[in-house]
Amino acid sequence: MAENERSDLDHAAGRNGDGPAPVKDEAPAQQVAPPLPQPGGGRYAQIVGWGYHVPSKVITNHDLEQIVDTSDEWIRTRTGIEERRVAADPNETTASLAAAAARKALDVADVHPSKVDLIICSTSSPEYIFPATASVVQDAIGAVNAGAFDLSAACSGFVYGLAMARGHILAGDAEYVLVIGAETLSRIVDWTDRNTCVLFGDGAGAVLVAASDVPGGIMATELGSDGSGADMLIVPAGGSAHPASLETVSNGSHFIKMEGKAVFRFAVRVMAEATTKALDRAGLTPDDVDLVIPHQANLRIVQNSVLRQLKIPEDRVFVNLQRYGNTSTASIPIALCEAIEAKKVKPGDNLVFVGFGGGLTWAACAVKWGVPTAAPEVGWWRSTRRQAGYQAAAARSMWRRAVRWMYDVWPADPEEAASGDHEATAPEPKKQVSGSRGE
C-alpha distance from residue 430 to each of 82, 135, 256, 403, 410 (Å): 46, 20, 33, 12, 13
Q: DSSP H helical segments within 1-115, as ranges? A: 3-10, 61-65, 72-79, 94-109
Q: How many helices (H) and strands (E) does the chain have?
A: 15, 13
Catalytic residue set = 155, 295, 326
In this structure, are residues 335 and 320 in contact, taking their beta carbons and an 8 Å threshold?
yes
Backbone angles phi, psi at 178, to 5 degrees: -95, 120
Give the SS3 label for residue 91: coil
55 in Cβ contact with 87 (< 8 Å): yes
The whole-angstrom separation of Cα 9 and Cα 45 is 9
User: What is the greatest pairwise CA distance in the chain?
Assistant: 82
Give, in degrees to the nearest 5, the angle at Cα 239 between 182 and 67: 60
Instruction: Report how far apart, in Å, the C-alpha atoms of 98 and of each of 131, 162, 181, 183, 310 are.
Output: 15, 16, 7, 8, 33
Q: Which of 26, 29, 78 is nearest to 266 (CA)?
A: 26
Q: How many CB atoms lie within 10 A of CB 378?
A: 13
For the chain, report the end-to-end CA distance as a whole number of angstroms.
Answer: 27
* Whole-number Å distance between alpha carbons of 110 and 386: 10
User: b or e along 304-316 (b: 16 or more beta carbons within 10 Å of the residue's beta carbon)?
Assistant: bbbbebbebeeeb
Burial class (CB in 10 A: 0-12, 13-18, 19+), 428: exposed
- C-beta atoms surrounding 220 within 10 Å: 22
